[in-house]
Amino acid sequence: MAIRMYDLCGAEAERRFSPFCWRAKMALAHKGLQIETVPWRFTEKDKLPQPNAGRVPVIVDGDRVVHDSTAIADYLEERYADRPSLYGGPVGRGLARFVQNWTETVLQAGLIRLVLVDIHRHLGPEDQAYFRGDREKRFNTTLEEVVKDREARLPAFRSSLDPLRRTVERQPFVSGEAPAYADYIVFGAFQWARAISDFEVLASDDPVRAWRGRMLGLFGGLAASAPAYGAAA
């Protein structure tokens, strides 16, 4: 039986943009597991299986419900230990946490200030009201103010990617010769931006963009074939 995964979507059910859901989808594909996704919107908190935290991703595997992308990766690694490893052992697992913390405090924190208003444009009316209220409270200003002057801030954002850039300049993937969970963590952030914004955050000759292209091509083009903006690679 396929694993069921609740996956954040916009007004269009096929536009899936949560960076955390992309982490989980790539991890499930890495393990070679079949899934069926359930499109889910911000305001459908009561449609999620229990237990949950009102957020996605949530997966249902037989009678197990697991929520939170990190918990899902840990669950898959243990439950499907005979399949390709997401972490490559305890050190790889520990270091994936560092990559995650960099992704959340630097990469996603930078990206949100470039594409926040574009997320809003892709939501249905009910979700738009929720999203504007929640995010404007969080940023203490309007969505439009958050992304203002994004062109001017682009060089600083691109410069903040130096640790990632140097890494994928010198080896094919963040995790080395082959992709693993840390790659999916970083990629989730770029796929999120790409899914809802036509604002290209990477220069055409950026090694990070070449890596993103390699990620888009994985698993038969799983991420490349999803509704998004920009070139598939």
Summarize as ranges the residues that interact with a second copy (CB under 8 A). Answer: 85, 87-99, 101-102, 104-106, 162-164, 166-167, 170-171, 173-178, 180, 182
Q: Name which of 96 and 123 has its Cβ closer to a second copy.
A: 96
| 84 token code pair | 């390709």
Q: Name which of 75 and 102 has its Cβ closer to a second copy.
A: 102
- Starting at the edge strand found earlier in the chain, the sheet holding 58-61 runs 35-40, 3-8, 58-61, 64-67
Supply the minimum distance, in Å, between the C-beta of residue 167 and a second copy.
5
Supply the minimum distance, in Å, between the C-beta of residue 220 and a second copy.
23
Supply the minimum distance, in Å, between the C-beta of residue 165 and a second copy.
8
Measuring CA to CA, which residue among 200, 206, 230, 184 is closest to residue 28? 184
Measuring CA to CA, which residue among 110, 211, 97 is closest to residue 160? 110
Q: Name which of 186 and 201 has its Cβ closer to a second copy.
A: 186
Q: Name which of 64 and 97 has its Cβ closer to a second copy.
A: 97
Q: Name which of 101 and 141 has its Cβ closer to a second copy.
A: 101
Supply the minimum distance, in Å, between the C-beta of residue 200 and a second copy.
23
Supply the minimum distance, in Å, between the C-beta of residue 160 and a second copy.
9
